[in-house]
Amino acid sequence: MSEILLLEDDPAIAQTVVFALQREGFALTHCSWLHEARARLTQHEPALAIFDVGLPDGNGLDLCRELRAAGSRLPLLMLSARSEELDRVLGLELGADDYLAKPFSPRELVARVRALLRRAQAPVAAPAPQGFVIEAGGSRIRFQGQVLDLTRRELGLLSRLLAAPQRIHSRETLLDAVWGHEADSGDRTVDTHIKTLRAKLRAVAPELDPIRTHRGLGYSLE
């Protein structure tokens, strides 16, 4: 049975969460205070944790950051009454795996929890080259510890390069793989996106320039 730690100070919300997840067969441990959850986590790591943001003795995002700084890979779902983009982005930046804005339906909560647990139990992929970490089932890439803010196409290109590093990927292959049948885009499209991708990688680590251009052939990752 998967154990879930819930950190939530609102009794009504906590009750909803506990009820919804227990009904699905999960074992719940409920804390209302940040210090309580922190103490619990040092003794025992659950299968997943759900943290509220606003707590009587602090901010759930702080605990999230502390855990990630300590190298914990515990699947984390953040709950917040504030649905502002800032909170969501901040939560994910700090290492939360998913985010649910209040009010949420118990059914959605259960679906998110299941998805996170499935993802956590998936076999760990082979290590990606040179400081890249592929996260959230491939929807997010971290470079030198920083989450890259990529467009869909940039993410597609980088994922492709990461999947077969050192291999030279021709513009046509990349175009096919990332743009598919949207045929009105030409070779220049790939170059343009590689350029913006490079700029984003440089912004993180100016000294590393992992994307190599092979004149007349294409691109590779080193």
Question: What is the binding site for Ca ion (CB under 5 A)?
Answer: 9, 52, 54
Rounded distance between C-alpha atoms, residue 153 and residue 179, angstroms: 8
Query: How many Å apart are CA 87 and CA 85, to the nearest integer?
Result: 6
Q: Which residue is nearest to Ca ion (CB)?
A: 54
Q: How far is the CB of 102 from Ca ion (least distance, A)?
A: 9
Q: How far is the CB of 111 from Ca ion (least distance, A)?
A: 22
Other Cβ atoms less than 10 A from the Cβ of 51: the count is 26
Q: Among residues 51 and 179, whose Cβ is nearest to Ca ion?
A: 51
Q: Count Cβ atoms within 10 A of the Cβ of residue 85 and give its class: 0-12 exposed, 13-18 middle, 19 or more buried.
A: exposed
User: Closest CB to Ca ion among 10 and 93?
Assistant: 10
Cβ 55 to Ca ion shortest distance, Å: 6
In the complex with Ca ion, which residue's Cβ is closer, 3 or 9? 9
Q: Is 220 helix (H, G, I), strand (E, B) or coil?
A: strand
CB 58, CB 36: distance < 8 Å: no
Residue 114 CB, nearest distance to Ca ion (Å)? 24
Q: 9 vs 93, which CB is nearer to Ca ion?
A: 9
